[in-house]
Amino acid sequence: MKLTRIIILFLAVSSCATGYIKTETGLKYTILKKGKGEKTEIGDEILLYETTSYRNGTVLYSNENSGSPIKVKIGAGQVTAAVDEGLQGMRTGEVRQLIATPNLVKRTFYPENTSPDSTLVIKMILHKIIPSDQ
């Protein structure tokens, strides 16, 4: 039974040759810097810095150097499926880089500089988990 669980876990989250972990949805991510404290969960409100770019490095959006993180409720559909999934399990100060296929970055409106059929690279920095009593 234990071996079966290990095999299922291996199939569900397989490690890519480039050091990325691939989830069941096809999202690939790597942890660039470990964070501290509690892990995020669905329903948590957080403050996030993010840089989204094409694979060639062309930046589409970034608030990383703005000093103004965005507020996001994980799992509430406020961001793309890739970001919602990628935020789960992060810790304060953690930096993750996602590689998100077009199906994970679908949105109803695309900014002028974004192609709806592109794989995107998303760097996320979890600035803070907002306590639920605030």
pLDDT digit string (tens) for 25-56? 999 999 999 999 999 999 999 999 999 998 88
Residue 108 DSSP code: S
In a domain, 87, yes or no: yes
All residues at 6 or more sequence positions from 5 whose CB lies less than 8 Å from its CB, including other chains: none
Q: Please give the tally of structural domains in the chain.
A: 1
In a domain, 7, yes or no: no
pLDDT digit string (tens) for 6-19? 444 444 444 444 68
Q: What is the pTM of this model?
A: 0.81
Residue 24, domain CATH: 3.10.50.40
In a domain, 8, yes or no: no
pLDDT digit string (tens) for 95-130? 999 999 988 987 665 556 666 678 999 999 999 999
**pLDDT for res 50:** 96
Tokens of 64: 């990383």
Q: Domain residues for 28?
A: 15-130
For residue 132, pLDDT over 80 is answered with yes
Amino acid residing at 68: S
Spatial separation of the C-alpha atoms in residues 11 and 43, rounded to whole Å: 27
In a domain, 46, yes or no: yes
Q: Give φ, ψ of 127 to 5 degrees.
A: -75, -45
Strand partners, 46: 72, 129
